[in-house]
Structure 1
Amino acid sequence: MKTCLIRLFVLLVLVLTIPTSASAAEKIKFGAPLWPGVTPKTHIVAQIISAMGYQSELIEVGPPVIYKSMGFNDMDIFLGGWTPQQDPMLDPQVKAGKVVKVRSNLSDALIGVCVSDAAYEGGIKSLDDVHKYPEKFGKTIYNIEAGTGMHTAMESILKDNVGQLGDWEHVGTATSVMLAGVTSRINKGDWVVFGCWKPHWMDVEMDIHFLKGIPGSEAMISGSSVYTVTRGGFAADYPEIQKLLENFSITSQTQSEWISEYSYKNNPADQVASKWISANLDQVKGWLKNVKTIDGKDAFEAVKAKYAKQ
């Protein structure tokens, strides 16, 4: 009887002290709304942690669901925390400790008003210059559809006669329709003014210029930061992935290039990600400084071994 008790005690000690493999077996859940900027970015980070030995899945839901799911520990990472636009839904969760803003992964995002190169070279440098050339612009400002923040902001500008634009026409359509019309006018050499943002493929593929803002245009012409967001407790559960996330940052130019490859040229997001990683291992190396794989090896060497041959 005594021998049996001793064996049972030893077995219990072994069970309690052997490291669990939960971090290896459980999938890291990425919130991935169907945004052309977030999709390739998420694939890149997912492929890096895959090389580190972790499994992951991308869940296609929007920010409200992502943040609520993080509060229930049902979502791990979101790379598209736009601020200040998402602050009303993000800040309460951060204050409650359910969500953590790890760092800004993109600090030069911009929402604004753009003009064609012909208009810019013709002297249109700020929003205050636009009203001076009603004939050139057809007295029309093009924008995305009603109900969006950008459309509402431009409506306020016109209502308040900011930049003496109160009697101009404001045409809002779906993004693809707006950009098709703008591209057509640019190709004809026409002057055109429209709502724009970056990162986006328009910043890479179109010859356009962002205008300087003026008093009263702040809601339409403003800078943004995009944060990496995790659920509370993620850093303790996955310290090596946390190190990667703390190092991970890009420029709007880089993300615009990803968007161009994915959304404009219609390449699959996973292929865009793997091709970029292979061509930019030096940048990836900086993200993986002092980061280890799930089995304790150098994370960058693991990524390099997988992608240097591609």
Structure 2
Amino acid sequence: MFTYSKVNKRVSAIVLASCLSTGHVVAAEPAQCETVRFTGPGWTDISSTNALASTVLEGLGYRTEVNTLAVPIGFEGLKSNEIDVFLGNWMPAQQKFIEKYAIPGDIDIVGENLVGAKFTLAVSRYTYDAGVKDFADLAKFSEKFRQRIYGIEAGAPANQLLQNMIDSGDFGLHKWRLVESGEQGVMSQVKREIKRQQFIVFLGWEPHPMNSNFDIVYLTGGDKYFGANFGGATIQTVTRKGYREECGNVGKLLTNLKFTLAMENQMMGFIMNDGQSPTDAAQKYIKQNPSVLNAWLTGVTTMDGGNGLSAVQKHLGL
């Protein structure tokens, strides 16, 4: 026999399923959905999207937490239900994490939030003009590069791809060394070497202000490791298992959240070039581009069921 509370829970589940199937949102979120826990590996692009999402959620009456975790640890957090959302699943570079966690049903893939990204080795324009145009050209200039490739932080999937490339001896790079560093560290190194007109090969990607701050060129020949079209990538939103069903209103927002290269380049410029915090950068971007809220907040309410768009506009003083 069902107790009253069990009947209520069952009815609530039926109502939730009905609302989701007809495109409507739940009137109010359960109390356990009040805090939304994000993970990010410390990359400025993901810090930017986390800040944009957090700014909107706070305007809707939610609390947010952003946990800086290496990608593998972030996936473990999703799997163990200690993290709710990851906005930075670069595909296909992070395919092995999806294979490890998604296929058994340990996490949910919400969908793509950015298309047209790229991710592979890059050099300065003068290095390219000197003859380094392809991965196969690197070994010819070993001394100029000091047999070093600059990656990003330890544990990043891209670093593992580069280390596999070195270990396998591909492109004659078996004696080279991968230098692991945080995003800010490698960008500082790139800036120093370019200023001195020295050779440097490093992991480059877009969206990122490096594409406008420096005259750089992406190398061909890395398809085996990074994929076609210079590591052409899409970025996915993933959540812990069942999160969108449990927290339907946040789930609707996550489904709506789509970003562009121009948007993220601008956001990252606010942070890296202007020294703004991600939160300040997100507020500045939305205030300068308030129309983005229309698509993001379609079918989304405040946590207690009010008008979502009006609440976020009021929160930002629009």
TM-score interval (norm. to shorter): 0.7 to 0.9
1:101-153 per-position Cα deviation (integer Å, ceiling 9, x unaligned): 10121233332111212234556543345566678x45744313796554554
Whether the 8 Å contact between 1:204 and 1:257 is mirrored in structure 2 is: no
Give the gaps of 5 or more residues in structure 2: 1-6, 13-26
Q: Structure 1 unaligned runs (5+)?
A: 1-12
1:278 to 265, 269, 287: 287
* Partner in structure 1 of residue 64 of structure 2: 56
Q: Which moved more, 1:190-199 or 1:139-148?
A: 139-148
In structure 2, distance between residues paired with 1:211 and 1:192: 12
User: Structure 1 residues 298 and 21, CA, compared in 2 at 3 Å: closer, same or farther?
Assistant: closer
Q: CA shift at 1:260, angstroms?
A: 3.5
**What letter matches 1:300 in structure 2?**
L
CA contact (8 A) 1:29 1:57 kept: yes
The AA in structure 1 aligned to 2:258 is: S
Q: CA offset at residue 203 of structure 1? A: 2.7
Q: Give the structure 2 partner of residue 182 of structure 1.
A: 190
Give yes or no for the alignment of 1:255 onto 2:264.
yes
Q: Aligned partners of 2:163 and 2:67: how far apart in 1? A: 34
TM-score scaled by structure 2? 0.73
1:210–1:290: structure 2 CA closer, same or farther, 3 Å change rule?
same
What secondary structure is seen at the aligned counterpart in 2 of 1:37? Answer: helix
Q: SS at the partner of 2:57? A: helix
Provide the C-alpha distance between the structure 2 equivalents of 1:107 and 1:268, rounded to a whole number of angstroms: 25
Amino acid at match of 1:105: N
Using structure 1 for the length normalisation, give the TM-score: 0.75
Aligned residue runs from structure 1 range 7-46, under 5 A: 22-23=30-31, 26-46=34-54
- Secondary structure in structure 2 of the residue aligned to 1:229: strand
Find the counterpart in structure 2 of residue 7 from structure 1. Answer: none
Q: Which residue of 2 aligns with 1:5?
A: none
Is the partner of 1:75 in helix, strand or coil?
coil
Any idea what SS the aligned residue of 1:292 has?
coil
Change (3 A) 1:130 1:66: closer
1:302 aligns with 2:302: no
Return the index of the structure with the highest Cα Rg: 1
Q: Percent identity?
A: 22
Aligned-partner SS, 2:55: helix
- Decide whether the 8 Å contact of 2:47 with 2:278 is kept in 1: yes
Q: 2:249 aligns with which of 226, 240, 247?
A: 240
Give the superposition deviation at 1:212: 1.8
Higher RCO (CA-CA < 8 Å; seq separation 6+) = 2
1:203 counterpart (208, 211, 230): 211
Separation (CA, whole Å) in 1 of partners of 2:280 and 2:219? 34
Structure 2 Cα separation of the partners of residues 257 and 123 of structure 1: 32
Question: CA offset at residue 27 of structure 1?
Answer: 1.7
- Is the CA contact (8 Å cut-off) linking 1:106 and 1:226 kept in structure 2? yes
How much does 1:78 deviate?
A: 1.8
Aligned length: 298
Aligned equivalents of 2:104, 2:166: Cα separation in 1:
39
Structure 2 Cα separation of the partners of residues 276 and 20 of structure 1: 28
